[in-house]
Structure 1
Amino acid sequence: MARRVYLHIGAPKTGSTFVQNVLWANRDRLTGAGILLPGSAVAHDQAMADLRAAPWRDAEVYWTWDRLADKARKWSGDVIISNEGLGAATAEQAAHAVRSLGPAEIHVIVAGRDLWRTLPSFWQQSVRARAGWRFEEFLRAVEEGRCEAFWENHTATRMLRRWGDLVPAQRRHLVTVPAPGSPHEILWRRFAGIVGIADGLCELTAPSANPSLGAAEIEVLRRVNRKLGDRYPLRTPYRRVVHRHLVDAVLKRRANELRFGVGPDRVGWVMDLAEQQIKELQDYPCRVVGDLDELRPAKLTPTAGDDAVDDGHLLEVAIETIVDMLGHADSLSAGTEHPAEGALSRLRNRAAGGVRRRVRRAIRRDAP
């Protein structure tokens, strides 16, 4: 039976990818220290989709939430389950998740980030998940109370109320994301301190690239999404085609110098929301690792709005994107020019290797 289970549930764009990469890169060391990461990163993602009964989940995958929970329960030490999509689970789904991991001591870890950075991050993630709305449309929806998904899926307050209320107050943990420019080790030390990972146990690598797209690049993707119609639906077809060949292979690799963000006309609005959020978290019984002041926007960096990219510049970026995609397609063709022959060759080599191993075993068996 697991002793403690730490559920790291998000929010997205709060350094979760960095934390997860450190965890998985040091999985063997953690296991040796009595801390299990069950399955794999893919398993956690599949289990999350199963728990949420997400419409885009693949029903044929191996890992369900209950299968992951069963593996966690069988461990005798501590367990970490981490996926930023878990925070979007409903209250009923969260309750099922916590029940399924009992009777272990369950801890909930939520990360919070200032709203100045969170608002454009949520919008961009929605576009990268096939949405087609403009940034200004999104902001108006938030202002007018028509975007509950933003508050439910990307803010610590709502996540803590759905998940944190299921465990005692001393097992609720809020990690605040340090201000821009802070050393990435700070976020790791905050997370590791909660779980009890000793200093120096894990080798830290620089945060992997999960960059935000620039203003022109995200606009190209937004317009592509609007033209797709029913083609390449979420989640697997869109990831396999659009993410692989457009976002990951081309758009992420561009300089992305001009950034979307909240304009100066909404500074007061964002600051008021931040103060409200801080007040709610001050009143919520949980352990704060970091400082709630970090949820107050510190660097109101000038950013671009919807009108920052004119059609001439967008056309130029779109043409450059097509050229880069042609190069990507060419490299794929060069690497898989004769896939059938390659597969046949691999089968032959495996078969020959099997014959050689059987012959060696027979020789050893018959030797005096």
Structure 2
Amino acid sequence: MSEKVFVHIGLPKTGTSYLQSIIWPHRGRLAELGVLVPGREKRDHLLSSLIVRGDDAVRRRGPGAEEAWDVVRAQVAAHPGTSVISHEFFCSASAQQWQRMVDDLAPAEVHVVVTAREPLGLFTSSWQESLKNKSTTPMADYGRSESDDPREIWDWRALDLGLVLERLRGAVPDERVHVIVGPGPEDPRDELWRRFAGVIGVDPDAVPHEHAFPNASMGVVEAELLRRLNAHLTDVRSARERARWIRTFLADGLLVTDSAERYWPGDDQVADARRRGDRALDLVGAGGYDVVGDAERLRVPADLPPRRHPSDVTEAEVLAASVRLNARLVEEVRRRTLDAEAARHQPAPPRLRHLLARRLTGRDVRR
């Protein structure tokens, strides 16, 4: 049985994908260092988060999906050192679900790793991520609730650090909750990895991480364009298809730009984010949490630079972005078509030619 299990629960949009892009490709190296990343494949941690939170959607995830948590638990039980489980959707689990999860991992000592950032930036990033999941909700209507449903991700239930910490209480002692504050722009690019590695007890330089990058963002015009496009993508239904075609191909592949124009929500939403940040900071200060980084960064800055609201995007801007997107789509279709044609006309390797000829003629044509 693992002595310690570190469960990294997000929050969403706090560098989770960046950390996972280091953990999973190098799970072999981590194993050499005594750290197990359990599961048959990366998606087992996502599936485990669905199972733990009682989300019936796991039944639609294909063969073996409903066994993911059992697989993860069995591998943790067989490993004598440290284990790491990471998925940002765990953060929505209820207090009762957290207690069951800790019981499932017993007798290992469960630690929870929470990556966090100030809630206004988190809010805007979360809205954009919801668009990548096919949402059509305007920013003015986003984040107006605190859901009681642990299956819900894209509202304050998962984004409010204070709410998440309150649900953890009772299941995990405060001193075993590690709050990693997101680094600032002046910090080294790999600072988040260094903080995370320090928590799980790994030398950050012992694991390759130089080629991992945080997710890029769409600008305000591109985000508004995607929001409108989502209403017409009626054939893209499953979570797997949304991830493949909307998030990866369309948003990250075609709509992300180097000159992305950043944006803010409305004044009332800014005030709400500020209140939540102040409350979370008070809670962190009053508890016995292990805080890594400057806790003051969990507070929304007093002075914010001027930025547009997505509703200020003009029809002309959407049209221009649509033209650019169509041009890139044509270029992408052309590239893939030429690659496919080149592959069809590539001479078969000699061994393959020999096998095909013998099947067709019954003779050995090698010379």
The equivalences for 1:275-354 within 5 A come to 275-298=278-301, 300-337=304-341, 349=352
Shift of 1:199: 4.8
Q: Identify if the C-alpha distance between structure 1 residues 351 and 142 changes in structure 2 by more than 3 Å, giving closer, same or farther.
A: farther
- Distance in 1 between residues matched to 2:5 and 2:141, nearest whole Å: 40
SS in 1 for 2:178: strand
1:184 paired residue number:
189
Matched, 1:212 2:217: yes
Equivalent of 1:74, from 57, 72, 78?
78
TM norm structure 2: 0.83
Matched, 1:101 2:105: yes
SS in 1 for 2:209: coil
Alpha carbons 1:263, 1:302 under 8 Å: kept: no
- Distance in 2 between residues matched to 1:129 and 1:148, nearest whole Å: 11
Cα RMSD, aligned residues only: 3.2
SS in 2 for 1:255: coil
Q: How much identity, in percent, do the aligned residues show?
A: 27
- Matched residue pairs, number? 348
Matched, 1:30 2:30: yes
The equivalences for 1:149-188 within 5 A come to 150-188=155-193
TM norm structure 1: 0.83
SS in 2 for 1:213: coil
Residues 178-225 of structure 1: CA distance to partner in whole angstroms, max 9, x if unpaired? 233422333222212211112532233254251121111111110011
Q: Identify if the C-alpha distance between structure 1 residues 142 and 256 changes in structure 2 by more than 3 Å, giving closer, same or farther.
A: farther
1:42 paired residue number:
43
1:62 paired residue number:
64
Give the partner amino acid of 2:62.
Answer: E
1:19 paired residue number:
19
Q: Identify if the C-alpha distance between structure 1 residues 90 and 61 changes in structure 2 by more than 3 Å, giving closer, same or farther.
A: farther
Q: Identify if the C-alpha distance between structure 1 residues 309 and 28 changes in structure 2 by more than 3 Å, giving closer, same or farther.
A: same
SS in 2 for 1:178: coil
- Distance in 1 between residues matched to 2:273 and 2:7, nearest whole Å: 29
- Distance in 2 between residues matched to 1:324 and 1:2, nearest whole Å: 49
Gaps of 5+ in 2: 356-367
Shift of 1:135: 0.9
Gaps of 5+ in 1: 353-368
After TM superposition, the structure 1 stretch with the greater mean CA deviation from structure 2, 3-12 or 321-330, is 321-330
SS in 2 for 1:227: coil
Alpha carbons 1:113, 1:177 under 8 Å: kept: yes
Residues 9-54 of structure 1: CA distance to partner in whole angstroms, max 9, x if unpaired? 1111111222222223432222112111123323322332333343
Shift of 1:105: 1.0
Shift of 1:136: 1.5
Matched, 1:235 2:236: no
1:249 paired residue number:
253
SS in 2 for 1:165: coil
Shift of 1:116: 2.1
Give the partner amino acid of 1:200.
Answer: D
- Runs of 4+ aligned structure 1 residues displaced above 6 Å come to none
Alpha carbons 2:162, 2:276 under 8 Å: kept: no
Residues 105-164 of structure 1: CA distance to partner in whole angstroms, max 9, x if unpaired? 11111111101201101211111111111111226x259x9x995221123222222235
SS in 2 for 1:228: coil
SS in 2 for 1:94: helix
Shift of 1:236: 1.5
Shift of 1:55: 5.0
2:129 paired residue number:
125
Alpha carbons 1:190, 1:289 under 8 Å: kept: yes
SS in 2 for 1:175: strand
Alpha carbons 2:140, 2:266 under 8 Å: kept: no
2:10 paired residue number:
10
